[in-house]
């Protein structure tokens, strides 16, 4: 099943803005990567946090942090880029919903990245935070992942428009990478939905039911991670922040469309699962009906027969039929007539 | 059942605006048709994509592309008409929801065309994309279809207003053709709904249930294709784009009304199906009740009788009744009284 | 059950604005009535369509058309009053939802009139279209009806304000007549709801269920006819069209209130029906429970008894009890004890 | 159960603004009370309607009418205070939803007063209409009631602010009296909800179910009476009418809060009832399960035993076991073993 | 279960603004604490209410009142800080929903604090009211609690920003303390949800059902307490009141985010409980199915066997089979064949 929502709050009572890491430690070491590029050149290195500083435009500075449990790293970075303590607090408190906050000189974005632990393992999510300034982006991930690799690759090889554009386009690219990854996750879920659907149609089984329920929970979990992103992107795409220029807004509109498609697909999956549940339930109720019919048919046929046999099993001294020459065969015949009558009755009632 | 939502994304990781065709290849060959007309004359020919270019007003240029799997055709067309790569990407990525995007000099519309493969086959949908400039329209279809034929016919024969109006009216006509086609689809679905309804009323059967469920899914599918179109047409009709002049807006309002009617009809069908399900379920539960009644009546009558017979089938040495002259008949009489009493009791309880 | 939504579209493929009558022919002949009045005098006659033309204010011209199947009548009328072909198309295409369209010099209203064919017959609806100009009103009905009679009567007898006011008040009066008629329909439905409610409370019967379901469908049908009118009247009452002066808006607000009351009553009926369904279902489930209890009690009492009788019906050579002097009575006594014990047990469990 | 929504419309066909009393006659006689006060003095008397007229500020005139069936009284009053016929029509047509209408020089408010006929009788409602002018208030009640008594008392004794404020504060006080009365009604309903809840928890019984259903209907009825008031008060409190000055708006905000609290409480009651229904249904289904278990256990134990007894009750000439010395005891032993085995099996399955 | 919503209104009929304490008396004595601080110094003492008065900025005055049943204390405080009687009335009437009211010179906030009586006791709530002026805050609690202790501690020790900021930040801190406490409550509820979930998965039992239902009620109760706070904080954070400066608004946005997280978590819990209910219900229905199967299998096997035995237990004089040498064994064989056939049949039907 999907990961339980983080709700432990070791922070209760501390003044707001106090930096405490809340959440599981998912990376062994905190790794800070610095990438600097403009249209001409790229510089990429793993650095100590103190080396991170934004340079003058048109160069773009991208600092990526994998692992959040060393609070002092985050704090230093915050000081160097002038980030408000509340932002850093949210970065560290990894149970945030996707959101967009405008702090004037920079904006703060929270996304939730979905991934599967191992192959076919349970669906989990991770908080990805982006702080976007005029010509710099700082991104925070809970664990080292490969979702941003294509973006790095494009920067290195100057593929696409990325090197020619500013920090806003870089931020969009990271965002787009996360959204694109949703499609991969959905693909896996879609396979599960389809497989379950086929199995339920071919042979409804109580064991499939728990599969349905857990898939339903997983979809709910996915929906919670993606749904608020729609609002975030809608605001970005409408140009609420001047940091994103008109051209990048077109791309953000595209990402917005993708998010809506993701939500749409999740809803479709939920509808399909609801449909399967209906199919399952009605087939279960049909089976129950059938079982009851069998019981009723058997009881209705054999109870009268057994009763007739019981009559002639009585030991009264004076039972004239018992002496009849063909009494036994008449009794058998009567039983046959009763049974046949019942059967015809049931066939007329379409119970057989 | 309805086609599964397209969710494979071979594009994950590629930079945005990269042109890759996503979806099934539904046409054997890409066919580009060019129609040019003004109030005086019409020119219509199958052309190579390089020949497509918009001419000066008042002439209208309509380029129709059937089949999307040759990316270079789409790309050339995009360059010749100055279409943004994101638009071309959406044209090629055939899982879009209906939408409307304003790019200033031109607008981009995505529609979903519904059709049935073969007669009575499953309902499928296809993406129809329209790019509408000041005096040109480029339309993209996944496969060669005949939905736009009436529009072509009207252009050729100068029937209606089409030749006298501009590209906006042409775009409206194409849109209207798609919406009109929904009514044809709905007619077929309506027949199915009615037929099922009659069969369920006359004889509820578990087999009809799966028909109901699949019809429900099909309606859901239809709804998903049509619902977002409402929003698209609402925005167009309110005059959000200056490309559509005041006069055409009246027609768009008409198309908007039709879309609402389509949605309304789909909702009515869904309500009818929900009603049928209720009828089915309550009739199933009534049948169950009846079966249980039969079982109970039979058991309640024959169990005491069999018990009485059992008593006089005992082999005790001293059982005075067995010696009575009319013991047997008294026993039979007792049984008759018990049975009659039970029957009267059940008739009073209205179980019979 | 309520009439099936009209969904046949013989128009697919025709250019928009083509006039084709869609719907059942409900009147034998098209009848055009012309009423002209001002504060002083009234002129009323059945006319040929070519005689219809608006005269100068303050006189008001009202043209009423009963029956729509003669397209040329509608067309001529349209030309004489300068009505847009799209309006005429909607007038003829009788499956429109209630709507309000502002064409500048005139406005177009579609209403749905509800009526019962015969007494207690199924509920049907009919499209009533109104085109309202500065000092004229053209109204279209599918069949000759008597809903507008009170309005005619008021014009003739100068009762109320109607003769002193303009075309906008006439339009309001027609609208109000349709809305008032809803109350008559609701009254009939309310009687049915109440009667069903009483019968279900006094004696729940599967046959009542189909009555409930069909009443539910009828209410759904009513709701669909009335619901969009709320929006129409809300817009009119807010003064969206300058054709309706401030004073008439007060009256429109009144009609708006009535519409909301109609919707409210329909909702109340639906709630009541849902409540009845609940009552029915729980009483059905109670009965099932009771049936099962009877079966269980009978089986639980007689099975052990029959078993005891069976034991002493065995033919073993050595069965000591059979020889006992009071064996038979001891056995009967044992049976009595078992039966009594069971009965006490069931009474404790409150099953009896 | 709650009173059926008034839906008889003897008015259909009459011109709007025609004054006809619609609703039950609830007061024997129409009683008109006139209260005039300023900060200095109070005048209170039962008057003839012709004596009612507004005096100059700062004196406030309050005319209260109990009983609506004498149309001419209402009409005279309307003429004297210059009230629009549509307002009077709504006053008389006592099935209005709560609403607020601004007529410029005065505003019109409709409220629904809830009361119980007798103690613990069914919940009914009554229409209370207020017409509020610059320094006068006319209030209409269907029957003489005591809800406004505390307001009268406060005027007489100059308690609170009422004598120092204007007609708007008087109107607020009347409104507040109606809202306050809702709390009294809710208190009674809450007691019923709690009592039912305890009885269902301690002993679920089919008879409680009908109590639940009727309580549910009553809450629905209450909700319908209160819900639209929220909108009315929201508009008043926002200052839509200049008749209510800034200071009184604070008080209206308070009344608005109370209304929301009433709605909230009704919703809470509905949630509680839904919860009880769930508890009832699951306990009913548990009982059904238990009954079935008992039946199955009994049948499963005694059927094999009876069968064994049946075998040795057969009259075959050659049945070796019958001759065995301990045949009978072996048979009894076998029966015991079968019964014990079954019992162990059931205990393992946790059926016992 | 959660505390019943307060609905007794001993106030009905009193003029608005009359101060009466409504609610349980939860503190033994009313305790008024005065804290005064600026960046330099802190003064903290338990005082008599007459000593409370706001001093000049930049010093901040915080008056905290524990216990509300001494109306005169509240009244004096109200007079000294110029608080409107309606505010005091709401402070005393402890059944308010969370709300925000702007009175110009000060604002009034109502919150609902959740706490558990004892360990694992039922969830209760308490009204916390805040009146916030330019440089003073008056807070009212129903009972002495420790939720505000961390804030006091921070003021004393000058930890965080609190001493450097004004009364708006103090108000935020109190608000934040209440919201933070929700997380603690949620943690406990989450543990219960998880535990129930595990028990239901491992062994569905009717007793768990009542646990589920009561947890559902508790979550509903929590939701009612928190939901309106979202609206309150949304308005504060958007800067509706000039008392909160731009900087504090950032913090309020943070508190708003936390509230949404709380609501989100509550919704997640409710979804999880709904999922558990589904799991429980389907497992219950599976068990029912299984019981019926066992019954049917047993009956279907033994009824025919018992019937055969019954036949040969009849006492007819002429029953040829009885004389056969191997008649008995043939009969036993026939029984075996019937039983085996039934078993094979059931195995094919997958009932075994």
Shortest distance between the Cα of C60 and any Cα of chain D, in A, equals 18
Closest residue in chain D to residue E298, using alpha carbons only: D300
Cα B90 to Cα B267: distance, rounded to the nearest angstrom: 29
D partners (3+ CB pairs within 8 A) are C, E
Closest residue in chain A to residue B289, using alpha carbons only: A289
Cα D287 to Cα A171: distance, rounded to the nearest angstrom: 60
Cα C341 to Cα A289: distance, rounded to the nearest angstrom: 33
CATH number of the domain at B323, please: 1.20.58.340
Which helix (H) or strand (E) element contains residue E110? strand E107-116
Let me know if residue A21 belongs to a domain. no
Cα B274 to Cα D44: distance, rounded to the nearest angstrom: 61
Report residue D338 as tokens.
């079968």
Let me know if residue A116 belongs to a domain. yes
Give me the number of domains chain D comprises: 2
- For C242, the 3-state DSSP assignment is coil
Do E60 and E104 fall within a single domain? yes
Nearest to C189 by CA among D206, D8, D160: D8
Cis amide leading into D58 (omega within 30): yes
Let me know if residue B300 belongs to a domain. yes
* pLDDT at residue A11, as a whole number: 60
Cα E173 to Cα E150: distance, rounded to the nearest angstrom: 9
- DSSP letter at A61 equals E
Report residue D209 as tokens.
């179910």
Report residue D192 as tokens.
């019923």
Tell whether the model's pLDDT for residue E315 goes beyond 50. yes
Report how far Cα E290 is from the mean position of its chain's Cα atoms.
37
Cα D30 to Cα D319: distance, rounded to the nearest angstrom: 100
Tell whether the model's pLDDT for residue E223 goes beyond 60. yes
Let me know if residue C15 belongs to a domain. no
Instruction: List pLDDT tens digits, range C80-139.
Output: 999 999 999 999 988 889 999 999 899 999 999 998 877 667 888 899 999 999 999 999
In C54-197, beta strands by DSSP E = 60-66, 99-102, 107-116, 123-132, 136-141
* pLDDT at residue B12, as a whole number: 61
- Tokens 């024969």 -> residue: B157
**Is-contact E57 E36, C-beta < 8 A?**
no
Q: Do D264 and E5 touch (CB under 8 A)?
A: yes
Cis amide leading into C58 (omega within 30): yes
* pLDDT at residue C3, as a whole number: 40
- For A249, the 3-state DSSP assignment is helix
Task: Please report, in tens digits, the pLDDT of each residue of chain B (352 residues total).
Answer: 334 444 445 566 677 778 888 777 776 788 999 999 998 899 998 888 888 888 887 899 999 999 888 888 999 999 999 999 999 999 998 888 999 999 989 999 999 999 887 766 788 889 999 999 999 999 999 888 788 999 999 999 888 788 889 999 999 999 999 999 999 899 889 999 999 988 888 877 778 888 888 899 899 999 999 999 999 999 998 888 899 988 899 999 999 999 999 999 999 999 999 888 888 888 888 888 888 888 999 999 999 999 999 999 998 888 888 888 888 999 999 999 999 999 999 898 887 7
The model's confidence at residue D7, banded by pLDDT at 50, 70 and 90, is very low
Tell whether the model's pLDDT for residue A262 goes beyond 90. yes
Tell whether the model's pLDDT for residue E296 goes beyond 70. yes
Cα C325 to Cα C330: distance, rounded to the nearest angstrom: 10
Cα C59 to Cα C136: distance, rounded to the nearest angstrom: 9
Do E156 and E276 fall within a single domain? yes
* pLDDT at residue E233, as a whole number: 94
Tell whether the model's pLDDT for residue C263 goes beyond 80. yes
- For A315, the 3-state DSSP assignment is coil
Cα E60 to Cα E154: distance, rounded to the nearest angstrom: 14
Residues 241-270, chain D, touching E (beta carbon < 8 A): 250-251, 253-254, 257, 260-261, 264-265, 268
* pLDDT at residue C9, as a whole number: 53
- What ipTM was reported for this prediction? 0.81
Give the phi and the psi of residue A91 in degrees, each rounded to 5.
Answer: -60, -40
Closest residue in chain A to residue B211, using alpha carbons only: A279
Shortest distance between the Cα of D100 and any Cα of chain C, in A, equals 11
Instruction: List pLDDT tens digits, range B177-232.
Output: 999 999 989 988 999 999 998 888 887 777 888 888 889 989 999 999 999 999 99
Q: Does E285 touch chain A (CB under 8 A)?
A: yes
Do E242 and E125 fall within a single domain? yes
**Is-contact D257 E99, C-beta < 8 A?**
yes
Q: Which of E282, E303, E318 is the last residue of a domain?
A: E282
Instruction: List pLDDT tens digits, range A41-80.
Output: 999 998 888 888 888 878 999 999 998 888 889 999 999 9
**Is-contact D31 C202, C-beta < 8 A?**
no
Q: What is the mean pLDDT of residues C12-24?
A: 76
Do D208 and D320 fall within a single domain? no
10 Å CB burial of residue B126 (0-12, 13-18, 19+) is buried
Cα C198 to Cα A108: distance, rounded to the nearest angstrom: 63
Tell whether the model's pLDDT for residue C327 goes beyond 80. yes
* pLDDT at residue B37, as a whole number: 93
Give chain A's count of helices (H) and strands (E): 8, 7
Cα E10 to Cα A1: distance, rounded to the nearest angstrom: 51
| Residue A93 CB partners (closer than 8 Å, separation 6+) | A11, A20, A22, A23
Tell whether the model's pLDDT for residue D12 goes beyond 70. no
* pLDDT at residue B13, as a whole number: 66
Do C227 and C157 fall within a single domain? yes
Average pLDDT of chain E is: 87
Tell whether the model's pLDDT for residue D165 goes beyond 80. yes
* pLDDT at residue A8, as a whole number: 44
Instruction: List pLDDT tens digits, range A103-157.
Output: 989 999 999 999 887 766 788 889 999 999 999 999 999 888 788 999 999 999 8
Cα B326 to Cα C286: distance, rounded to the nearest angstrom: 45
* pLDDT at residue D319, as a whole number: 86
C-alpha dihedral sign at C287, C292, C294, C295: positive
Nearest to D300 by CA among D239, D241, D341: D341
Please name the member of A7, A220, A298 whose beta carbon is closest to the beta carbon of E187: A7
Do A90 and A237 fall within a single domain? yes
Cα A140 to Cα A129: distance, rounded to the nearest angstrom: 5
Report how far Cα A149 is from the mean position of its chain's Cα atoms.
23
The model's confidence at residue A9, banded by pLDDT at 50, 70 and 90, is low
Nearest to C60 by CA among C46, C41, C79: C41
- DSSP letter at D163 equals G
Instruction: List pLDDT tens digits, range E260-284.
Output: 999 999 999 999 998 888 888 888 8
Report residue A126 as tokens.
């991770």
Cα C173 to Cα D16: distance, rounded to the nearest angstrom: 8
Report residue B208 as tokens.
């009809």
- Tokens 């983080």 -> residue: A6
* pLDDT at residue A186, as a whole number: 92
Closest residue in chain E to residue A2, using alpha carbons only: E272
What is the maximal distance between C-alpha atoms in chain A? 121
Which helix (H) or strand (E) element contains residue E339? helix E327-348
Please name the member of D160, D250, D316 whose beta carbon is closest to the beta carbon of E328: D316
**Is-contact A279 A200, C-beta < 8 A?**
yes
B partners (3+ CB pairs within 8 A) are A, C
Do E255 and E209 fall within a single domain? yes
The model's confidence at residue D11, banded by pLDDT at 50, 70 and 90, is low
Closest residue in chain D to residue C320, using alpha carbons only: D328
Q: What is the DSSP string of C248-273?
A: HHHHHHHHHHHHHHHHHHHHHHHHHH
Q: Does D352 touch chain E (CB under 8 A)?
A: no
Do D69 and D213 fall within a single domain? yes
Cα C125 to Cα E269: distance, rounded to the nearest angstrom: 47
Q: Does C209 touch chain B (CB under 8 A)?
A: yes
Beta strands B31-37 and B60-66, pairing class: antiparallel
Report residue A240 as tokens.
């609420």
CATH number of the domain at E176, please: 3.30.460.20
Q: Tell me which of A21-30, B43-52, E223-232 is least confident.
A: A21-30
| Residue D209 CB partners (closer than 8 Å, separation 6+) | C282, C286, D280
Cα B341 to Cα B352: distance, rounded to the nearest angstrom: 13
Q: Which of C262, C282, C302 is the last residue of a domain?
A: C282
**Is-contact A261 B95, C-beta < 8 A?**
yes
Report how far Cα C169 is from the mean position of its chain's Cα atoms.
28
Let me know if residue E20 belongs to a domain. no
- DSSP letter at A227 equals H
The model's confidence at residue C12, banded by pLDDT at 50, 70 and 90, is low
Residues 148-177, chain A, touching E (beta carbon < 8 A): none
**Is-contact C313 D306, C-beta < 8 A?**
no
Let me know if residue C167 belongs to a domain. yes
* pLDDT at residue E13, as a whole number: 66
Report the Cα–Cα distance between both ends of chain A, in Å, rounded. Answer: 43
Q: Determine the structural domain holding residue B294 and report its residue range.
A: 290-348
Let me know if residue B254 belongs to a domain. yes
Cα D326 to Cα D335: distance, rounded to the nearest angstrom: 14
Q: What is the DSSP string of A196-211?
A: HHHHHHH---HHHHHH
Q: Which of D235, D251, D282 is the last residue of a domain?
A: D282
Residues 328-347, chain B, touching A (beta carbon < 8 A): 328, 331-332
| Residue B69 CB partners (closer than 8 Å, separation 6+) | B21, B25, B27, B30
* pLDDT at residue B144, as a whole number: 83
* pLDDT at residue C8, as a whole number: 44
Do A222 and A309 fall within a single domain? no
The model's confidence at residue D13, banded by pLDDT at 50, 70 and 90, is low
Beta strands E60-66 and E136-141, pairing class: parallel
Shortest distance between the Cα of A100 and any Cα of chain B, in A, equals 22
Q: Do A309 and E304 touch (CB under 8 A)?
A: no
Let me know if residue D5 belongs to a domain. no
Do E186 and E267 fall within a single domain? yes
Do A203 and A310 fall within a single domain? no
Cα B261 to Cα B255: distance, rounded to the nearest angstrom: 10
Instruction: List pLDDT tens digits, range D18-37.
Output: 888 877 777 678 899 999 99
Do E77 and E190 fall within a single domain? yes
* pLDDT at residue B11, as a whole number: 60
Share of chain A above pLDDT 70, in %: 95
Please name the member of C5, C12, C17 whose beta carbon is closest to the beta carbon of B184: C12
Cα E47 to Cα B58: distance, rounded to the nearest angstrom: 87
């Amino acid at each position: 099943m999907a990961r339980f929502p983080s709700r432990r709050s070791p922070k209760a009572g501390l003044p707001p803005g106090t930096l405490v890491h809340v959440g599981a430690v998912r990376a062994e070491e905190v790794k800070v990567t610095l990438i600097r590029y403009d249209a001409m050149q790229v510089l990429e290195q793993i650095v100590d946090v103190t080396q991170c500083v934004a340079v003058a435009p048109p160069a773009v500075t991208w600092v990526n942090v994998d692992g959040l449990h060393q609070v002092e790293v985050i704090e230093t970075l915050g000081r160097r880029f002038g980030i408000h303590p509340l932002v850093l607090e949210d970065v560290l408190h990894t149970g945030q919903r996707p959101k967009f906050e405008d702090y004037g000189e920079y904006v703060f974005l929270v996304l939730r990245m979905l991934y599967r632990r191992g192959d076919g393992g349970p669906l989990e999510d991770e908080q990805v935070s982006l702080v976007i300034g005029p010509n710099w982006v700082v991104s925070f991930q809970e664990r080292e992942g490969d979702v941003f690799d294509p973006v790095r690759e494009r920067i290195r090889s100057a593929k696409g428009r990325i090197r020619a554009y500013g920090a806003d386009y870089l931020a969009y690219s990271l965002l787009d990478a996360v959204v694109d990854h949703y499609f991969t996750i959905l693909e896996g879920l879609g396979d599960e939905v389809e497989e379950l659907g086929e199995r339920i149609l071919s042979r409804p089984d109580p064991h499939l039911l728990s599969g349905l329920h857990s898939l339903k929970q997983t979809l709910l979990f996915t929906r919670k991670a993606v749904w608020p992103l729609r609002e975030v992107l809608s605001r970005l795409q409408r140009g609420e922040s001047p940091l994103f220029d008109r051209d990048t807004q077109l791309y953000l509109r595209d990402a917005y469309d993708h998010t809506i498609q993701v939500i749409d697909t999740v809803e479709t999956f939920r509808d399909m699962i609801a449909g399967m549940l209906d199919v399952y339930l009605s087939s279960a109720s049909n089976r129950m009906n059938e079982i009851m019919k069998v019981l009723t048919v058997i009881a209705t046929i054999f109870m009268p027969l057994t009763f007739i046999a019981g009559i002639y099993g009585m030991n009264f001294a004076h039972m004239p039929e018992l002496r009849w020459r063909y009494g036994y065969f008449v009794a058998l015949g009567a039983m046959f007539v009763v049974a046949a009558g019942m059967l015809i009755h049931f066939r007329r009632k379409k119970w057989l």
